[in-house]
Structures are given as C-alpha cells and as structure tokens.
Structure 1
Amino acid sequence: MKKTFTINISGTVFHIEEDAYEILQKYLVNLKNHFGANEEGKEILSDIEARIAEIFTEKSDDEKKVVTIDWVNQVIETMGTPEDFAEEEGEEEEVYVTSPKRKRRLYRDPERRVLGGVSGGLGAYFNMDPVILRIIFVVLFFVTTGAALLAYIVLWIAVPKARTTAQRLEMRGEEATVKNIEKSIREEVNEVKKSYHKFKNSDTYAKGKKSMEGAGDVTYNVFKLILKVAVVIIGVILILSGFFGLLGMISSLAIGQSFVQGWPLVWGPEIHFPDFFNYFVEPGTVTFGMIAVGLLAGIPLLAMLYIGSKLVFRYKSNNTAIGLSMVGVWLIALVSLVVVSASQLGNFKDQGSAVISNTLPCDSCQTYTLDMAEDKYENYAELDWDLNNLKAVVVNGDEVILGKPKLDVEKSGGDSFVVSVKKSSRGRTRGEAREYASDIIYNYQVNDSTLLFDPWFLLEEDGKWRDQEVQITIKVPEGKAIHLSEEMIEIIYDIENVSNTWDGDMVGKTWEMKPEGLTMKELSESTEDRKELPENTEEL
C-alpha cells in the first residue's frame, strides 16, 4: 500500500499518493518559476491551482478517493507545461485555430454585468452581443407581462458566477489550460492598464487633478493661518501669565498681599510669606528660604514671558548660555531648599507631652454640664491660612496662634470627676518637645456643676508650630453623668458610647457612665439629676 499525504489545493483538501505528490509538486514549482513571484504571476498560479482542484474534485465524484499518479499526469497533459507552450510561441495563431473547442458552460459574467451578469453569461454561451439579449429581456418583460423578469431572477439565482479565470475560459468555450489562463489574465491586466492610461490622459483627469491641487493649497493655507493665530494667542497668554505672575509673586513675597489676587493664570495668594514661614522655621533660615522660593517660582515665570514674546514677535535668539544658566540657578535653588527643608524637619523628630489632671471639687454632684466658654478671638482679624486646626489672628497689632482642642470622655477609676489636659508637641529632642508642650496655654472654668472650656489653646509669644495638640479627657465615675451642650460639637472628638452614637448626635443630651460604658439617659431622668448647687467658681 502506497504512502499518502493530505494536501490543500486552492482551499480544497485532497489525499494524494506519495509519487503523485512529488510529480504535482515539481509541476507547480515549475509553473511558479516560469510565471515569477510578481502579482500577475501569483494570480495566474492561483487560477491554475483552482482549475487543478476542480479537475480532481470531478474525478473524485464526491467520494474520498486518493489522487493517483494517473490523475496528476492527466492534469498535466490537459493543462500543459511551460515547456509545451514556450515552443509554440511563434505559432500561436495556428495553435488557436486548429485546437478543438471545449464545450461551453453557462456562467454569469461579472465583467459585463448590468445587474447580475445573466445577459453577459448568455452572450458568451451563445456567442452573442449581451446588449441584444438585454433588449430581448426588456421586450419579453412587456410581452409576457412580467414573466421574463421572473425568469431572469431564476437564472440569476441558479447560474453560478464565473469567479476564476478557468471558469471564464469555460464560459467562452476555451480549454482551461495553463497557456489560456496566462493569456486571459495578461489580457485583463493589459486592459486595465489601457483604461487607466486613457483616463490619466483625459481632460477629466487633468481637471480633477487641478481641482484637487487647488483644494489642497486652500486647505493648507487655512490650516497655516489657524496655526499662526493659535501660536499668537498662546504667546499672548504666556506673556500675560508670566508678567502678572511675577508681579503677584514679588508683591506676595515683599508686602504680603498680591494686588493681582484672584486673577486667572497668575500668582495671587494673600499671604505674607516671611511672617508665614516664621511660624515654622528658625529666623535665620527664612531669608534664605524666601530667596530659594523666589528663584524656583520666578525662573519658570520668566521662561513663560520669554517663550511667549518669541511666539508673538517671532524674533530669533541664540542665547543658549543664558538658558542653561537659568536652569542651573533653578536647580541650585531647588537643592538648597531641599537641604534647608530637611534640616528644619529635624524640629519634628521627637514627640513629648505634659499632662495636668484636676479632681473637681464637688463630690455630691451627680451630673456635670459641659459647655463652651466665650470665644474671645471671634471678632479679631484672621490671617489667611489654616493648618492642622491652627490659625493666626491679629490682637492689638500682635499675631496670636490659636489651636483647636479635642475633648473625650472616659470612665473614672474613683468616685470623683477628673479633668485631664494632655498637651503634646514635637521637637528635635524629647526634652525640647516637652518644653514646647508645657508652653501651650489652655484654660477652662468650673462654675457650679458646669465646666466651661475655652474654644482655643494658645502658643506662647513667638512660638513656633511644632504640631501642637491639646487633648482634654473628662473622667466620669460610674453612676454619674455629664450633659453635653450644643456648642460642644466644636471640640468633642470620637467619644465612645454604648449606642455608637455619632458626636454630632450626642450634643444636647445627658450621658450616664454605667459598667458597660457611656449610656444616654432619658429626658425625665436627666432633668431630675441636674440640681442647683452653691456657687463655687474656680479657674484652672
């Protein structure tokens, strides 16, 4: 039993014997070498392969038969070899006259179609002009009251379209040999070239080309004009931004208020930067830091002004040295500011705290009311900055730094109410941090059964910001209660309670300390427990 292979010819799979495969492969390689690897040669070879697949399919008769060497030899004999028709080049006319015509097959001709190519295919089959057949169809349409149209549609559906060169040859009654396939394809290529050459030399092509060139020139000029206008607009924006940005920066650094504040695309904060930095860094570094900040912000603004002027006025300059120098100065300022900032960050290295606890004098009090004292700084002018609950106000010409305390409630270990004030701060060392914490000023008052808490804590005069905080803790004995006034919402912070009530919902209510934790009392109970006590006012 001979060895077989599975091959794919023009999209159709065949089983072929080994010796037949070798002969077929040599035949196809020979054809490929003859026609070349250009597009025209590839098209010829593709149509030849399609014809070979068609012949093999006809011989297989829809059964899974193996392609034998006899089939391959018959295909080669039918199709011919390049050597066969190369010898007949000088006798081409005689060969076509004497060669027997192949029986015609009916196809639809896609190359001469108006609708479906039925008339073109019938014209090729009967060797008639398709125009005559179209006239006949039109006449029959009226004579048969539309039956001719139905016949045309049936032919359109039933008759296959001549897709390959071999099918087009069969449609004209010519043998689908290698030579005829080559001739047909070359004729089609030449026809296309002639049609293109004729169109290229026509007046229509010349006028169309001239119109396209004109339209292209107009489009180019319009886009060029739009680009120029856009460049000028961008340049004007850069000039205005750079100019007013420089004015805003200089006025902010020098006098502490930018007169271009609120303008778009410019520097305009109302901050006196020297005083602002004095709150954070040592006095000796403020001037140096301001120079570095001015260079870091000013050099890009100058670059914007320079680039904008070049875009608007289109002058040429080769001041590369100046540009590189500005970049170098900017980098030096950046490195210097980073070094100074890193050294100042050492002021926040360690943390320290100071705790002051006081037991409230009234042992018989069952409920204390927690309320806010009067805000003494409410009507003073504030400086335009706010950092971590800190703000600065001007009191009689002096700047005072204020901070917001935080209040929490815990269970007491004894039978008395205790107020614990924890002041914390940061510093280069733990001792320095404790010293900063001890300098924090905070007061509260005891008035009968009412605790009045100041809404702000103060830093000492000329004090520096070191992340200062004040944490107030009210320690409530078990069985006793506190009442939170509405104003306490300003300073209470995450008070734990049995019902997990949010801080904003705790105010205006009375809360009793029970074994399980802080519990809200009913209104009737809380009213009973709040008694009038003798006056006993003390400021701590």
Structure 2
Amino acid sequence: MKKTFTINISGTIFHIEEDAYEVLQKYLINLKNHFGVDEEGKEIIADIEARIAEIFSSKSTDEKKVITVEWVNDMIEIMGTPEDFAEEEGEEDVSIASEAKRKRRLYRDPDHRVLGGVCGGLGAYFNMDPVILRIILVVLFFVTSGAAGLAYIILWIAVPKAVNTAQRLEMRGQEATVKNIEKSIKEEVKEVKESYKKFKESDTYSKGKKSMEGAGDVVYNIFKVILKVFVIVFGVFLIISGFFGILGLASSMIIGHSFVEGMPLIWGPEIHVPNMLNHFIEPGAVTWGLILVGLITGLPLLALVYIGTKLVFRYKSNNAIVALSMAGVWLVSLFALLILSVGQVGNYKQSSSITKSETISCDSCQTLYLRVADDKLDDYAEIDWDVEGFKVAVIDGEEVVVGYPQLDVIRSSGDDFVVTVRYSSRGKTRDNAKQWCEEMVYTYERTDSTLYFDPYFFIGDEAKWRGQEVDIKVRVPEGKAVFLGSDMDEIIHDIENVSNTWDGDMVGKYWEMKPEGLTEKTIE
C-alpha cells in the first residue's frame, strides 16, 4: 500500500504516488532553479508544466489514473533535464537536426496570421511559406466560386489555435522538450526586443515622440490659459455677487427694503425685515435678531468677496486664521439666534378663544342672503409679502396686520338663523392668548335678510401675530335656506352638503337645510 497525493499541474488534477511525487517535485525545483524567477523563466516553467500535464494525461486510462514513479521517469526522459542540454562555454548551439522529432499536429498559427492563422498553421504543418498558401487560397477562391473561402472558415472554426510554446513546437514537428521550450521562448523574447529596438531607433519613433511632446505642450498651455481666464471670471462674479448682496442685506435690515432690488444675480428682495419682525417678535428681541440674522447671512456674502479677490488678485494671506475667525463668529451667531428663536416660540405655547353669537330675528325670512362686503382696504397700500392666513396693509402710514376669516354653514338647533363668530389665538399663557382674542376686530352688517361679511379681520393696533383666526358659523334652521353670493368663495370653507359640491361651485345658488343636510334648492 502506497500513500497518494492530489496535485494540480497546469490546471489539470492528478493523483500521484508518494515516491513519484518526490521525484517530480525535485525535477520541477531543479527546473525553477535553472531558469530563475524572472518573467522569461516563469513563462518557460509554465509551458513545461503544460507539456508535463499533456504527457500524464495521455498515459492516464480508466483502469489506471494514479501517476507512478515509472511515469515520472518516462516524462523526464522525454522532456530532458537542465544537465542534459546545459551549454558549455564556447560551444555552439545544438542543431535542430540533433533534436528529437515528433509527428506534426495542425494548429492555427497566431504569430503569422492575417485573419485566423489558418495559412500560417498549414505552412508550419507542411513546412511551406504561408505566403504561397495564401496565394493559392486566393486563386482557389475565384476558381471554386467562393468554396475555398467556406473551407477556410470551416478550418478557422475547427482547427485549434497554438496557445502555448509546447503547441507551437508540436505544430512544427519539434518535440516539446525542456530544451526546445526554452529555446523557443528565448527566440520569441529576442525577436520582440530586436523589433522594439529597431522601432526606437527609427526616424518614425523620434518624429512621433517629438510631435507628441510638442502637441502635449500646446494642449497644456492652452488649458492653462483657459483655466486662468475662468478663475478670474469666476472671481469677478463672486466679488460682484457678494458686494451687492451685502448692500441688499444692509439696506433691507436698516431701511426696510433693498435699493438694489431687481438687479440681476443680486440678493436683495423687498422683504421689509425690521417691520416684518415687529409683527412677530417682542420689541427687545428685534434688534438682536436683526444683528444675528445680518451676521449669519452677511458672513457668507463677505466670504464670497474674500474668495473672489483671492482668485482675481492672487495675493497671499493667512487663510486659516481668516476662515476660522469667520466660521467661529458664524457659529456663535447661529447658536445665539437659535436660543433667541426658542424664547420667541414660547409665545405660541398656549391657546384660547372667545365666541360671540347673534340671532337673526326675522320671522318672515325663509332665505338668508350671504354676501361679502366691499373691500375697505382697496384704497390703502398693501405690502407685497402675503403669508398664508394674513397680510399687511399700510393705513395712514401705519402697518396693519389683517387676517382672512373662514365661513361655514351648519344646521341650527332652533327655529331662527344664528351667526356665531369664534375668535381664537395663541399666547405665552392662556390669559395672554385671551387678551389677543379680545383685541381682534371683525364686523359684518345686516340689511333686511342680507348679511354682508367683511373679507378681513384686524388683529389689533398693538397686537402681535399669534396665529389669530376667525371662524364664522351661519346656523340654518331646518326648512329654511341660504343664498351664497358669487363673491362668497373668498371666505367660505369646506361647507358640507348632501351632493358633496365643491365650495367654488356652491356660490350663486340657493341651499336648503333638510333633514339629510344642506341641499341645493331648485328655483322654479
């Protein structure tokens, strides 16, 4: 009984007896020591291993697959050892005639190919110049009306390509021994080196190298000029944007609007910053808020100017100190503004409301007509910022905050029409929120069976905006109706009805309160 190993030779798995493994390992180590570890030596070893795998594969059968020491010795006798072909100093190369010959095998020659290497392989197989075979192929192509071309394609597909050195030797009828593999690879390497040397020494190489270097210098200089121009233009753009942005910010903070408004690429909208903040923030916090907002917004604009001047004038400065100083001031300002904002948010913490009701006494009124009163603010200036739920108008030089009421129509529990107005607001405390509710002003007028609702409500002369709302409920008794004027779509909000009609489509129509709900009334 002998111990066996599993080995991989050139991608093929073999089983080998222990004594045969030792002989094979010693042989391969001897080859590696002889050929060295450079790229040429590695290529020789790889081709030798491929030939060894081919020899062992030819010996393997279904009955016997394990490599024995006899197989290894036979392989060494075929391949030879470095000692067998080591050249003595001054001795000429052994001629090909003294080399062992083997039967030729047809391969496609990739080293002498025009298309697929078929003619090159046939030339090596028949020991002929492949040029003669190519001429014969062209002549046959015309004589056989293209049949020769089809035969070439079939050979291209069927005949394998000589990939490694052992196959190229076999293609020429030379035994794939260690010596022949080494000699073939060295000749290929020598041929490549000589071709490269001739190419480097040629006029074409010198001229091409000079042309490439000259073209590279031209492209580099052009790119360098374009980059410099782009940097300067970009720097000028940053300077202009930052400078006018600072002017717009300063004028908005101090004057109340930007005098550079409308100029292209410039930050400067008409935002009326001081007056706007006065409607939300306590008076003592407005000044600090403006300073902090100015620093948070102005420092980045100042940084644009600084970066732009650096790009245009290319002066040297201590960038780290300047950048860290600006970043430090910006972060402190942001932190302080957050603290200030949190304190102001507390003004919206609690909520309160006041409700006022009025019964519309009219026994003979079966229909109540609802309309929107004339806009009393038409003759007064309106500031162009309009936030959802409220807007600011200028009356007699004073800014007044007004809000938009919302009206709904619901069922009445009694026999009379009832108008309920609910005032709601938020504040720091409930009492504070209630105080804001009491300062709110909203009016509507009655003429016979018609009610005229104002389109706005006032939050009060000295009041701050705390989310004030006015909700109007018109309560309709069962069996009676309301008529929604065409302008009521300004204030009505989500009126429930039997047909689920959208608010905008309810105006200009009569609606009767029935047991099932508000129903459109048909007028005959």
Normalising by structure 2, report the TM-score: 0.90
Aligned match of 1:257: 257
Aligned match of 1:244: 244
Aligned match of 1:196: 196
- More deviation in 51-60 or 374-383? 51-60
Query: How far apart are the structure 1 equivalents of 2:218 and 2:159?
Result: 52
- More deviation in 99-108 or 435-444? 99-108
2:310 maps to amino acid: K
Query: How far apart are the structure 1 equivalents of 2:148 and 2:384?
Result: 94
Aligned match of 1:357: 357
- More deviation in 51-60 or 292-301? 51-60
Aligned match of 1:281: 281
- Check 1:148–1:459 CA distance in 2 against 1; reply closer, same or farther (3 A cut): closer
- Check 1:369–1:42 CA distance in 2 against 1; reply closer, same or farther (3 A cut): farther
Aligned match of 1:216: 216
Deviations 1:120-156 (A, max 9, x none): 3333233333334445555666777877666655554
Aligned match of 2:67: 68
Query: How far apart are the structure 2 equivalents of 1:196 and 1:166?
Result: 25
Query: How far apart are the structure 1 equivalents of 2:267 and 2:220?
Result: 39
SS at match of 1:423: strand
RMSD, matched Cα:
3.0
Query: How far apart are the structure 2 equivalents of 1:285 and 1:462?
Result: 16
1:295 maps to amino acid: L
Aligned match of 1:130: 130
SS at match of 1:512: strand
SS at match of 1:93: coil
1:124 maps to amino acid: A
Map 1:18-97; keep pairs closer than 5 Å. Answer: 27-28=27-28, 31-32=31-32, 34-60=34-60, 66-69=65-68, 70-82=70-82, 84-86=84-86, 93-94=93-94, 97=97
Query: How far apart are the structure 1 equivalents of 2:191 and 2:227?
Result: 47
Aligned match of 1:100: 100
Aligned match of 1:332: 332
Aligned match of 1:112: 112
Quote how far apart the aligned CAs of 1:335 are: 2.6
Does residue 490 of the first structure (1) align with residue 490 of the second (2)?
A: yes
Unaligned runs of 5+ in 1: 525-540
Aligned match of 1:342: 342
Whether contact under 8 Å (2:360, 2:417) holds in the other structure is yes
Quote how far apart the aligned CAs of 1:5 are: 7.0
Quote how far apart the aligned CAs of 1:356 are: 0.7
Quote how far apart the aligned CAs of 1:45 are: 3.1
2:67 maps to amino acid: T
Query: How far apart are the structure 1 equivalents of 2:515 and 2:28?
Result: 100
Count of aligned pairs: 523
Aligned match of 1:304: 304
Aligned match of 1:529: none
Aligned match of 1:504: 504
Does residue 387 of the first structure (1) align with residue 393 of the second (2)?
A: no
- Check 1:186–1:435 CA distance in 2 against 1; reply closer, same or farther (3 A cut): same
Query: How far apart are the structure 1 equivalents of 2:514 and 2:490?
Result: 26
SS at match of 1:497: coil
SS at match of 2:487: helix
Whether contact under 8 Å (1:20, 1:67) holds in the other structure is no
Quote how far apart the aligned CAs of 1:521 are: 2.3
Quote how far apart the aligned CAs of 1:212 are: 0.8
Whether contact under 8 Å (1:16, 1:68) holds in the other structure is yes
SS at match of 1:523: coil
1:66 maps to amino acid: K
Aligned match of 2:416: 416
Quote how far apart the aligned CAs of 1:46 are: 2.9
2:269 maps to amino acid: P
Query: How far apart are the structure 2 equivalents of 1:59 and 1:46?
Result: 20
- More deviation in 116-125 or 363-372? 116-125
Whether contact under 8 Å (1:17, 1:66) holds in the other structure is no
Whether contact under 8 Å (1:80, 1:179) holds in the other structure is yes
Deviations 1:386-444 (A, max 9, x none): 22321111122222211100111222222222111111111110110011011100011
